[in-house]
């Protein structure tokens, strides 16, 4: 895999100083006034971005069960239904080339505001759609705006968060998908009784709510310290680190080391950076990163989740469940169940190693889809109620298996995988392969379900077996290190260079001498709650 070089600020014992300072800090985040404020403001602004995606998929699932929507748009099936869902991904694909420019030039906050504004326009048009074409255009705009917010928000969470909670913040980012999904499932179930076009116009327009929250609350969230340092605004960055990582303690050893690491790491990254897309394949280390994130984009979309997210109604029809209200109830129940287990996975993610969780995820998904396929095949030949119930069981079992890594870890892993200077481009590549896979999936899935029935699920079983092999042989471990330590995951020489510069800046002779730095924070300080 390529060696992990000497990490910056690593003491003689092998543990990083930052890791030891953080481990020694026993004060929970909710007892730290400034950090508590930061995290509460990040909920509607950064963590809440994925609520739009969750709302979209669940809403489209629900609308297919509304007779008013179905008849208004000419009973779309097959390719016509596929393009209604796939256009969202196509819009995202068209927006992706512009994301690194906006994100790196104007900052994470501006990129989120920009994407949110576009999505509000899209949601308004979607709710007011007069025909099939207008609905398509509205969904294209929603898709165009979402990746700007996703790339910026995932970066902001990783770059602002206190080291102890960084993994959990990244995991909760994806978990917010279920909040939007639950709201959409509940709203479409609630509007089911409305016998006119407001039954689908209300949930369609409500897709603007998460974006409105981001625009309202973004003004209360600070910018990424790493972006500020990259823009020669080091004083502002230091002030943010002191305020939120040290509760205003100007003498904090943690902040002193963090600031030194960020400065030196960005300095080396900037020297080696060409600020072009060619940089993404210029070195063996970068090519490994690009390969991993590209395949991760495919895995998060081609693991069978698209079937459940967008076409659960059609899947249920294939196992004899045709009542619209029953399908809506199953959709709502499965969404709530996904939120519960997704939240549990997100909060527990820091306890496990990244690669271990990805292996457990892919292996369990393969087992679930194999069982699902067998049960569906049995129903096709016998039409037994037991087989139908078994399929529903596997649909509900799917979400905890998927959530343990693909939902809980993905953005945490991506932020850790890429250095700052290429982080936006790296996550954009992930978004590109994911959105292309999503477009293909949402367009092809209804055609496959319609024409091949249960046999279509076999293709997912084969692909999931490939995922297991890829993760086992190519995924590196990233847990337990700071973002600056991971910046040179595959570049040992550059890591050692940064190591020496950090030691010099901290006033010690070499990296081993950093052990002399006081790693005991002021645990007796009573943070004002």
**Segment 58-92, tens digit of pLDDT:** 888 778 778 888 888 877 776 777 788 778 888 98
At 296, give phi and psi (nearest 5°): -65, -35
Is 80 exceeded by the pLDDT of residue 314? no
The span from the CA of 187 to the CA of 272, in Å, is: 51
Is 70 exceeded by the pLDDT of residue 151? yes
| Alpha carbon separation from 14 to 20, 25, 115, 426 (Å, rounded) | 11, 19, 42, 29
Portion of the chain with pLDDT greater than 70, in percent: 87
Q: What is the DSSP string of 233-292?
A: -HHHHHHHHHHHHSTT-TT-HHHHHHHHHHHHHHHHHHHH--SSGGGGGSSHHHHHHHHH
pLDDT on residue 249: 92
Work out the pLDDT band at 496, boundaries 50, 70, 90: low
Q: What is the pLDDT of residues 325-357, one digit of tens each?
A: 888 888 888 888 988 998 898 888 778 899 999
Instruction: Give this prediction's pTM.
Output: 0.76
Is 90 exceeded by the pLDDT of residue 248? yes
Contact 82, 442 (CB under 8 A): yes
Work out the pLDDT band at 9, boundaries 50, 70, 90: very low
Work out the pLDDT band at 205, boundaries 50, 70, 90: very high
Work out the average pLDDT over 143-168. 90
The span from the CA of 295 to the CA of 300, in Å, is: 9
Residues linked to residue 16 through DSSP beta bridges, in sequence order: 10
Q: Which residues are CB-neighbours of 372 under 8 A, at least 6 positions away?
A: 391, 394, 395, 398, 457
User: Which structure tokens are listed for 83?
Assistant: 């393009």
Portion of the chain with pLDDT greater than 90, in percent: 37
- SS3 at position 458: helix
> What sign results for the dihedral spanned by CA atoms 516, 517, 520, 522?
positive
Q: Which of 399, 404, 277, 230 lies closest to 330, judged by CA?
A: 399
User: Which structure tokens are listed for 233?
Assistant: 């605004």
- SS3 at position 16: strand
pLDDT on residue 394: 93
pLDDT on residue 494: 58
Work out the average pLDDT over 18-27. 82
Give the domains, in start order, of the chain with CATH numbers.
Answer: 16-251 (1.20.1250.20), 285-504 (1.20.1250.20)
CB-based burial, 230-264: b 16+ in 10 Å, e otherwise: beeebeebbbbbbbbbbbeeeebbbbbbbbbbbbb
User: Which structure tokens are listed for 102?
Assistant: 């906006």
Is 50 exceeded by the pLDDT of residue 215? yes
Q: Which of 407, 438, 411, 433 lies closest to 423, judged by CA?
A: 411
pLDDT on residue 280: 85
The span from the CA of 224 to the CA of 230, in Å, is: 10
- SS3 at position 524: coil
Is 80 exceeded by the pLDDT of residue 16? no
Determine the straight-line distance between the first and last CA of the chain, rounded to whole angstroms. Answer: 46
Query: How many Cβ atoms from other residues are within 10 Å of residue 219's Cβ?
Result: 10
Is 50 exceeded by the pLDDT of residue 7? no
Burial class for 459, CB neighbours closer than 10 Å (0-12, 13-18, 19+): middle
Most confident region among 125-134, 268-277, 430-439 by mean pLDDT:
125-134
Contact 119, 153 (CB under 8 A): no
pLDDT on residue 11: 36
Residues linked to residue 10 through DSSP beta bridges, in sequence order: 16
Mean pLDDT rounded to a whole number for the chain? 83
Work out the average pLDDT over 286-305. 92
Q: What is the pLDDT of residues 377-399, one digit of tens each?
A: 888 888 888 988 998 999 999 99
pLDDT on residue 329: 86
pLDDT on residue 487: 66
Work out the average pLDDT over 127-134. 91
pLDDT on residue 12: 33
pLDDT on residue 212: 95
DSSP-derived secondary structure letter, 488: T
At 345, which helix (H) or strand (E)? helix 324-348
The span from the CA of 443 to the CA of 92, in Å, is: 15
Could you tell me the maximum CA-CA distance found in the chain, to the nearest angstrom?
76
């Amino acid at each position: 895999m390529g060696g992990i070089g000497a990490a910056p600020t690593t003491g003689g014992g092998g543990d990083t100083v930052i890791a030891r300072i953080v481990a020694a800090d026993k004060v929970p985040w909710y007892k730290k006034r400034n950090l508590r404020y930061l995290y509460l403001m990040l909920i509607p602004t950064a963590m809440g971005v994925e609520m739009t995606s969750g709302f979209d998929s669940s809403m489209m699932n629900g609308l297919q069960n509304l007779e008013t929507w179905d008849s208004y748009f000419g009973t779309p099936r097959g390719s016509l239904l596929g393009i209604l869902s796939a256009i969202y991904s196509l819009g995202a694909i068209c927006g992706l080339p512009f994301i690194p420019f906006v994100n790196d030039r104007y900052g994470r906050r501006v990129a989120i505001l920009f994407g949110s504004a576009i999505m509000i326009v899209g949601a308004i048009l979607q709710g007011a759609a007069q025909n099939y074409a207008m609905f398509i255009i509205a969904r294209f705009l929603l898709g165009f705006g979402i990746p700007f917010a996703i790339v910026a928000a995932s970066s902001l969470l990783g770059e602002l968060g206190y080291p102890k909670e960084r993994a959990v913040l990244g995991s909760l980012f994806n978990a917010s998908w279920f909040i939007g999904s639950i709201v959409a499932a509940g709203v479409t179930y609630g509007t089911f009784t409305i016998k006119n076009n407001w039954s689908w116009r209300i949930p369609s327009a409500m897709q603007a709510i998460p974006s409105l929250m981001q625009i309202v609350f973004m003004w209360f969230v600070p910018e990424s310290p790493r972006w500020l340092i990259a823009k020669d605004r080091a004083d502002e960055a230091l002030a943010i680190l002191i305020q939120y990582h040290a509760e205003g303690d100007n003498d904090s050893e943690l902040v002193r080391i963090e600031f030194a690491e960020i400065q030196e790491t960005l300095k080396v990254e900037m020297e080696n950076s060409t600020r072009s897309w060619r940089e993404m394949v210029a070195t063996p280390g970068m090519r490994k990163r690009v390969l991993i994130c590209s395949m991760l984009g495919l895995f998060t979309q081609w693991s069978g989740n698209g079937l459940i997210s967008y076409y659960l109604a059609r899947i249920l029809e294939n196992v004899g469940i045709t009542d619209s209200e029953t399908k809506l109830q199953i959709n709502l129940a499965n969404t709530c169940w996904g939120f519960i287990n997704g939240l549990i996975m997100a909060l527990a993610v820091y306890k496990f190693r990244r690669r271990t969780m990805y292996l457990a995820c892919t292996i369990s998904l393969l087992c679930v889809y194999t069982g699902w396929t067998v049960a569906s095949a049995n129903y096709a030949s016998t039409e037994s109620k037991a087989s139908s119930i078994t399929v529903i069981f596997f649909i509900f079992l799917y979400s905890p298996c998927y959530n343990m890594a693909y939902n809980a870890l993905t953005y945490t892993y991506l932020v850790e995988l890429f250095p700052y200077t290429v982080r936006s481009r790296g996550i954009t590549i992930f978004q590109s392969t994911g959105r292309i896979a999503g477009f293909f999936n949402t367009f092809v899935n209804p055609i496959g379900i319609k024409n091949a029935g249960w046999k279509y699920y076999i293709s997912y079983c084969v692909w999931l077996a490939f995922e297991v092999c890829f993760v086992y042989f190519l995924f590196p471990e990233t847990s337990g290190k700071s973002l600056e330590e991971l910046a040179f995951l595959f570049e040992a020489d550059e890591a050692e260079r940064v190591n020496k510069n950090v030691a010099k800046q901290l006033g010690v002779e070499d990296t081993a001498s950093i052990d002399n730095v006081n790693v005991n924070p002021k645990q007796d300080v009573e943070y004002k709650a």
